[in-house]
Amino acid sequence: MSTSAAEFLARAALPVLQRLPPETAHGLGLRGLRAMRRLWRAPPIHANLATRLCGLPFAHPLGLAAGFDKNGEYLDALGALGFSHIEVGTVTPRPQSGNPRPRLFRLPHIDALLNRMGFNNKGADYVAARLRRSSYRGIRGVSIGKNADTPLERAADDYVECLRKLYAVADYFAINVSSPNTRRLRELQAPDALADILQPLQRERETLERTHGKRVPLFVKISPDLDGEGFRDLCATMRQQRVDGVIATNTTLGSQTLRAMARDLGSGGFSGAPLAPGATGIVLELRREMGDEFPIIATGGIMDSENALARLRAGANLLQVYTGFVYRGPALITEILAALPPVAD
């Protein structure tokens, strides 16, 4: 099947899926991609788009954000679309069902989603087994978090356990301390709380590096809702703890206007177009605060090639899509890859 024929099928399926409840549509869409994965032909990737970050080789800057494939069950199917990297999870040590349904909502009039999923996943052991069986050759990120019933003062234990169980199958880890959908999780972005997580993770990584013969980078995924002082404190902590990079940003709790639009849907984090201006601004501020060499992965509101290029101009090294992919499907990948400038030597 040619890429154009496959894209035609994907475009035809999108309006049907978008008539279904969002979480149902998500599952059906993933199963459809898996059924077609051997027929799909990814868009051509030019060699001059290749880049390295933290010693890892990326075929190009565009990847898929965490949350789309929570359990690593569709890595090969999603990889066939042409993503240079895919971040699975967020994974917790033990399986958990997440928040009650419905917990995912579309706001199509503003190209946004609202979710309060709550780290629903099948647990670190299951995800590790799935990744071992995958043949995807791109970069595999794993987003890790704490179980909802783990007290905040013991959160570090959960992150370390995930690191230990998934280290052999991960190319990098995203330390998720910024989801708004696990109670009090964002408190872990405070300087002392974040240091209390990063220090044992760094110690455990030293042991695992000797055992597995590889050093897996640690990225911190941050909130777009930090105030100025909180943002500067977070940057200072990341410098002090020598984290390998940052992922900016997670979903937003939104402005009063945005929350009013979704009042009937309840609580959760917004993603998509409303997040784009703030997320771009945070990338700019991160680059100023952290310096020219600090690795930044940009995500949040990348809905088209213009958004993607704006994030790169702001200082991002890599990009990740989620909500734009939900609304536009594989056509978004083709558009962004065609617009990306060559990577400078």
The 8 Å CB, 24+ separation contacts for 242-245 are 242/202, 243/175, 243/198, 243/218, 243/219, 244/54, 244/172, 244/217, 244/218, 244/219, 244/295, 245/53, 245/54, 245/217, 245/219, 245/220, 245/294, 245/295, 245/296, 245/297, 245/317
255 is a catalytic site residue = no
Catalytic: which of 84, 143, 178, 179?
A: 179
Spatial separation of the C-alpha atoms in residues 341 and 324, rounded to whole Å: 20
Cite the active site residues. Answer: 179
